[in-house]
Amino acid sequence: MTKGEKRISKAAMRRLLKSKFFHEVIEIVKAWDYYLITGERDLAKEMMDKWFVAQKALEFITGNIYGFSRNGTTYSIVNERNYDDRLFIGLSIVPEEKAA
């Protein structure tokens, strides 16, 4: 555990990861990544705005600040104080027209 990082109980984390809220957060970051790849700026901006609200809720629930991270092949929700603490990792999907 790094300086400033907070821990919630394992039971509370399990409840969070199974919650409808968390699944909606995953859908937001999936869509945001997709719209960034496809260049749909208005839709990417909409997802970014939704992410900022979800980010504040995650901070309130967990006591940690989580960010959205991308590296070209994956995207994730990562603790900004401890990059080993990832709530979610997904594979970026490159649309067929971009892959060609």
- Give the range among 11-15, 31-35, 41-45 with minimum mean pLDDT: 11-15
In the prediction, which pLDDT does 39 show? 95
Per the structure, the count of domains in the chain is: 1
- The DSSP H or E segment spanning 4 is none
| Residue 18 within any structural domain of the chain | yes
| Residue 28 within any structural domain of the chain | yes
Residue numbers of the domain that contains 35: 10-93
The answer to whether 42 touches 88, Cβ cutoff 8 Å, is no
| Residue 59 within any structural domain of the chain | yes
For residue 37, name the pLDDT band (cuts at 50, 70, 90). Answer: very high
| Residue 19 within any structural domain of the chain | yes
The answer to whether 54 touches 62, Cβ cutoff 8 Å, is no
For residue 7, name the pLDDT band (cuts at 50, 70, 90). Answer: confident
